[in-house]
């Protein structure tokens, strides 16, 4: 059974968290010089647009990096959704 990023907890296995992140794009988990990094290159159909969500570079464990990335992605999705709703949908100024 798959889970979503808003269902991730400290008890969630890292592989389940990465699968949840993959619903939004291409997740990566990397060992850096001083710790772990988790990132996801978010899918975008807009020409020339890209969104990368990352944990800090110095997370002590792979799970900490994955959790931080999930929280940040969830916060991003929530803020974009709220902005679109308050604007009555995505609308851009006419030039």
Q: Which helix (H) or strand (E) holds 80?
A: helix 62-86
Residue with tokens 């609308």: 91
Return d(Cα 7, Cα 29) in angstroms, integer.
19
Kindly list the domain boundaries of the chain, sorted by start residue: 5-76
pLDDT, residue 74, reads 93
Edge-to-edge order in the sheet of strand 35-42: 25-32, 35-42, 51-54
Q: Is the pLDDT of residue 44 over 80?
A: yes
**CATH topology for the 5-76 domain:** Double Stranded RNA Binding Domain (3.30.160)
* Mean per-residue pLDDT over the chain, rounded: 89
pLDDT, residue 45, reads 84
Return d(Cα 48, Cα 51) in angstroms, integer.
10
User: Which has the minimum average pLDDT: 5-9, 31-35, 66-70, 84-88?
Assistant: 84-88
**In the chain, pLDDT over 90 holds for what percent of residues?**
62
């Amino acid at each position: 059974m798959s889970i979503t990023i808003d269902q991730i907890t400290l008890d969630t296995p890292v592989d389940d968290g990465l699968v949840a992140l993959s619903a939004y794009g291409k997740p990566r988990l990397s060992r850096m010089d001083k710790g772990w990094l988790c990132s996801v290159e978010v899918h975008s159909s807009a020409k020339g647009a890209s969104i990368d969500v990352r944990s800090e570079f110095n997370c002590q464990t792979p799970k900490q990096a994955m959790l931080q990335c999930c929280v940040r992605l969830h916060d991003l999705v929530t803020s974009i959704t709220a902005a679109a709703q308050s604007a009555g949908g995505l609308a851009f100024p006419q030039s």
